Structure 1
Amino acid sequence: MGAAMRRIQAGNVLSAFGLGFTVPYLYVYVAQVRDLGATTAGAVLGVFAMAALAVLPFTGRAIDRRGPLPVLIGAAGLAAVGALGMGLSTVMPAVVLSAALLGAGTAVMQPALATMIVWCSATETRTRAFAMQFFLQNLGLGIGGLVGGQLVDESRPDSFLLLFSIEAAMFLVLVVIAATVRMPRTASIADARPENTEAKARGGARALLGDGAMVRLCVLGFVMFFACYGQFESGLSAYGTEAAGIAPSTLGVALAANTAVIVLAQFLVLRFVERRRRTRVIAAVGVIWTVAWLFAGYAGLGHGSQAMATAAFVTTYGLFGLGEAMLSPTVAPLVADLAPESMVGQYNSAFALVKQLALAVGPAVGGPMGAALHGPYVVTFVLFSLGITVLAVRLGGRLTQAQDHPYLAARSRVVAEHRPERPVEAPAAS
């Protein structure tokens, strides 16, 4: 990695470390520590998500016009204010306002960081750059959650103030690190982008919606995030406790297994992933997640022993982690390679918005189903996972070789560049 990429990845892991301190304990903090009740805690989590949905539609244009660096610095500063405000708040209006600032800031940071990674990488190195980002994010979240769990004490509100203060400090460190990054003058993404770049850049959202491949990828992304991330802490947790009889403490073990698989498998699967068509990798993830949901079905509907049900449920989370490790170096670079050079921020923000929508709709749909409609819940998400495979295969027909199989495209260019020229024959003597 170059110096700019090292700084970006360092800021990425520090921000994830800060989030890991507080995200697992946000509900408990509002409902119990501040004694504002479960309703207020649910509203705060809703505001956290709604703030992200409110700012993401405007984020992409700001990134493309001002550059990702000032947008990242502003977002990190906003998140720092929200985190510190959350730790100091004791009444509902202050808690809700702080949650809105924190949610908006962290949401804007995602496409800004992604655009910086695109600007500092080439098509050949982008897959590994995004794999490293995902690896560091999960590592930071996991370590932050573990350390935060050792510091938190529900009987001492000042312990939560310490957690939120550390989170705010991490965001401010990100501001300092980002301020030292020297971005290249132009984005190095010319190898695989749609035609009519300038016309598309002028069109803004209309141009994005007119890009059939990007629209299909957004639909695919919604299905992926809805079927996986949107169920982790809502529907699948409710299904595990109600249908499979999983103890609440086992949910923590399952999430830890998910993180462990991501951390251990990320670079093991990278060589396999980067040498194959991206859409085929995504299709394979759909198959893996189908198997994961079948394990979940066995856990809750198989009528086996409690030990077998627990093992199957933990395996479900592990298989989800394997799929995530395969997607991280695949989907984000594909978004970048679809984007016109002057619309990278808008494409990244649009995909982040799709993810946020799925994370908002997923719990609303999956939570009640997972708690009460156990059989239909599993069948529904088996079908969604198979849908991922179908949509990915169909997307492959809309992509160029450079977009879908950059490794093979790069090798073809190298062969073409080094092919010896045919010697010119001398004219025959008369």
Structure 2
Amino acid sequence: MNLFRQSFAAWLPQVNHQIWILAIGRLLSQVGSGFTLFYAPIFFVNHVGMSATAVGIGLGSQSISGVVGRFLGGSLADGKVGRKHTLLLSGLVSAIASFVLAATQTFPVFVLGNLLMGLGIGLYWPSAEALVADLSTPETRNEAFALNRLCDGLGLGIGVVLGGLLLGTTHAYRSLFVIDGISFLVLVLVVFWAITEVYRSQGQHRGMQGWGVALRDRLLLTYCVVNILFTTYIVQINSTMPLYFTNFVSIPPAGKGFSTLTLTAILTWHLAACVLTQLPIARTLNRLTHARALMLSALLWGLGFVFIWLTGVAPLFPLVWAVIALGILALATVTYMPSASSLVVDLAPESLRGVYLGVNSQCWAIGYFIGPPLGGWAMDQDPWIAHSFWLGLTASIAVAIAILQLLQRQLCQ
């Protein structure tokens, strides 16, 4: 038993205890997000009565306020406000957004809720990622980011399972958003009581000056181009794929798409695969440069999209193709996440970590602006366009790999 405990302790990341506390807080928050993440498009399309395009536009509107939130989040995190208090503000704004979405009956209110959520998310990522960077060393940073991603995925998985069970028995979609709001308030309490601010601003870069430094960094801008592609891919899992599996996959003999319970099981498998492979892959990626790791991720994204396409067009075993697709996309996601964040931290001066990570997070805002409307439009078209959409994403992988090869050469120079 002692040998097992020692082996288990050695397997766990050897990081600052506050990183563990932050990761647990993020896990609790992500449980609430898992309640809504995959079911929101289905609820607003099939129950509230909005079109898939309208829901895509509403979800994409998060990117508008997200740009503002990320700008403020990076600046506040590097300034006198600091990482911790910026993170607290983000949790409060996100909680309000969840409660607004819980009360949504019309498209304008839906857009308002998404605008608030975008602002909260924008404030969150630069401050949260900067906290992880501050509390870790270069040797442990990859695993520190991987630990937080693992807890994100584990929380989402728990939320998806519980949300699916709740929907399967009560169909109380609106209660999911209330639970999401409460989970953000739990994160606020954890951060407020348990996290200590490590970084202290010395006022080296004020106002737009820090953003000017970041936006003149040629390496950072090259990375941002390909990162927009990656974030566009990620959002398809959350916003487009559930609609595709529900409305365009034909399950014999009735010819209908996957049921809510089946969809829940598939998405739970995806999140479980992310959780189980996150730390082993993060340690394996220490042998590769960050750019090489991102190339591997791009190849996995392309392969995963091919199997999603097969799920919709193959005459037999759609569930098998879906399970394979979500497993491959899990590997693509966990290969991307820690490598992307660690690369940006390596590029950033310590006094500008919040701003550099804010620029990195802006790529997510752009990806969320492009991804949901594009996927929603495809799902509103004829079946052949909906099916071909996934092959189009696969073809775009060539662009991502070409840019990453350029980035690798620039880093070597």
TM-score by length of 1: 0.78
Per the TM alignment, residue 326 of structure 1 is displaced from its structure 2 partner at its CA by 1.4
Quote the Cα distance in structure 1 between the aligned partners of 2:396 and 2:369: 17
Q: 1:75 to 1:16 in 2, by over 3 A?
A: same
Quote the Cα distance in structure 1 between the aligned partners of 2:240 and 2:113: 27
Q: 1:73 to 1:236 in 2, by over 3 A?
A: closer
Q: Which runs of 5+ in 1 are unaligned?
A: 188-196, 402-430
Q: 2:214 aligns with which of 208, 222, 239?
A: 208
Per the TM alignment, residue 44 of structure 1 is displaced from its structure 2 partner at its CA by 4.5
3-state DSSP class of the match of 1:124? coil
Per the TM alignment, residue 140 of structure 1 is displaced from its structure 2 partner at its CA by 0.4
Q: 2:320 aligns with which of 293, 311, 318?
A: 311
Q: Match of 1:118? A: 133
2:161/2:264 contact within 8 Å kept = no
2:222/2:407 contact within 8 Å kept = yes
Per the TM alignment, residue 217 of structure 1 is displaced from its structure 2 partner at its CA by 0.8
1:201/1:207 contact within 8 Å kept = no
1:83/1:168 contact within 8 Å kept = yes
1:118/1:126 contact within 8 Å kept = yes
Q: Confirm or deny that 1:70 pairs with 2:85.
A: yes
Equivalent residues in 2 for 1:267-416, closer than 5 Å: 267-300=279-312, 305-307=315-317, 309-369=318-378, 371-373=383-385, 376-399=388-411
Q: Match of 1:258? A: 270
Q: Match of 2:179? A: 166
Per the TM alignment, residue 393 of structure 1 is displaced from its structure 2 partner at its CA by 2.2
Quote the Cα distance in structure 1 between the aligned partners of 2:70 and 2:25: 21
Per the TM alignment, residue 67 of structure 1 is displaced from its structure 2 partner at its CA by 1.0
Q: Which moved further from structure 2: 54-63 or 204-213?
A: 54-63
Per the TM alignment, residue 241 of structure 1 is displaced from its structure 2 partner at its CA by 6.2
Q: Match of 1:192? A: none
Quote the Cα distance in structure 2 between the aligned partners of 1:113 and 1:102: 16
Quote the Cα distance in structure 2 between the aligned partners of 1:313 and 1:293: 10
Quote the Cα distance in structure 1 between the aligned partners of 2:231 and 2:170: 36
Please tell me the residue identity of whatever aligns with 2:183.
M
1:393-418 deviations in whole A, cap 9, x for unaligned? Answer: 221122269xxxxxxxxxxxxxxxxx
Quote the Cα distance in structure 2 between the aligned partners of 1:367 and 1:283: 27
Please tell me the residue identity of whatever aligns with 1:319.
I
RMSD: 3.2
Quote the Cα distance in structure 1 between the aligned partners of 2:176 and 2:378: 34
Q: Match of 2:158? A: 143
1:86/1:164 contact within 8 Å kept = yes
1:282/1:388 contact within 8 Å kept = no
1:184-215 deviations in whole A, cap 9, x for unaligned? Answer: 2459xxxxxxxxx9689973332212111100
Q: 1:383 to 1:149 in 2, by over 3 A?
A: closer
Please tell me the residue identity of whatever aligns with 1:352.
S
Q: Confirm or deny that 1:107 pairs with 2:122.
A: yes
3-state DSSP class of the match of 1:20? helix
1:10-44 deviations in whole A, cap 9, x for unaligned? Answer: 221111112112333434555676x5755875664
Per the TM alignment, residue 90 of structure 1 is displaced from its structure 2 partner at its CA by 5.6
Per the TM alignment, residue 223 of structure 1 is displaced from its structure 2 partner at its CA by 1.5
Q: Which moved further from structure 2: 83-92 or 7-16?
A: 83-92
Please tell me the residue identity of whatever aligns with 1:230.
V
Q: Which protein is bigger by CA-based radius of gyration? A: 1
Q: Match of 1:223? A: 229
Per the TM alignment, residue 379 of structure 1 is displaced from its structure 2 partner at its CA by 4.1
Equivalent residues in 2 for 1:227-242, closer than 5 Å: 228-236=233-241
2:60/2:371 contact within 8 Å kept = no
1:75/1:105 contact within 8 Å kept = yes
3-state DSSP class of the match of 1:78? helix
Q: Match of 2:3? A: none
2:309/2:388 contact within 8 Å kept = no
TM-score by length of 2: 0.81
Q: Which moved further from structure 2: 5-14 or 231-240?
A: 231-240
3-state DSSP class of the match of 1:377? helix
Q: 2:250 aligns with which of 245, 249, 255?
A: 245
Quote the Cα distance in structure 1 between the aligned partners of 2:69 and 2:334: 28
2:60/2:373 contact within 8 Å kept = no
Per the TM alignment, residue 62 of structure 1 is displaced from its structure 2 partner at its CA by 1.8
Per the TM alignment, residue 154 of structure 1 is displaced from its structure 2 partner at its CA by 8.9
1:72/1:109 contact within 8 Å kept = yes
1:329-382 deviations in whole A, cap 9, x for unaligned? Answer: 211111111112221111111111111211221233344446433675344322
> Larger relative CO (CA 8 A, sep 6+): 1 or 2?
2
Q: Which runs of 5+ in 2 are unaligned?
A: 1-14, 252-256
Quote the Cα distance in structure 2 between the aligned partners of 1:32 and 1:389: 38
Q: How many residues align?
A: 385
Please tell me the residue identity of whatever aligns with 2:258.
P
Q: Which moved further from structure 2: 54-63 or 113-122?
A: 54-63
Please tell me the residue identity of whatever aligns with 2:67.
L
Per the TM alignment, residue 116 of structure 1 is displaced from its structure 2 partner at its CA by 0.8
2:274/2:331 contact within 8 Å kept = yes
Quote the Cα distance in structure 2 between the aligned partners of 1:27 and 1:274: 37
1:201/1:343 contact within 8 Å kept = no
1:80/1:168 contact within 8 Å kept = yes
Q: Which moved further from structure 2: 233-242 or 381-390?
A: 233-242
Q: Which moved further from structure 2: 57-66 or 362-371?
A: 362-371
1:201/1:340 contact within 8 Å kept = no
1:76/1:174 contact within 8 Å kept = yes
Q: 1:203 to 1:325 in 2, by over 3 A?
A: same
Please tell me the residue identity of whatever aligns with 2:127.
A
2:62/2:365 contact within 8 Å kept = no
2:26/2:152 contact within 8 Å kept = yes
Per the TM alignment, residue 242 of structure 1 is displaced from its structure 2 partner at its CA by 6.9
1:36/1:91 contact within 8 Å kept = no
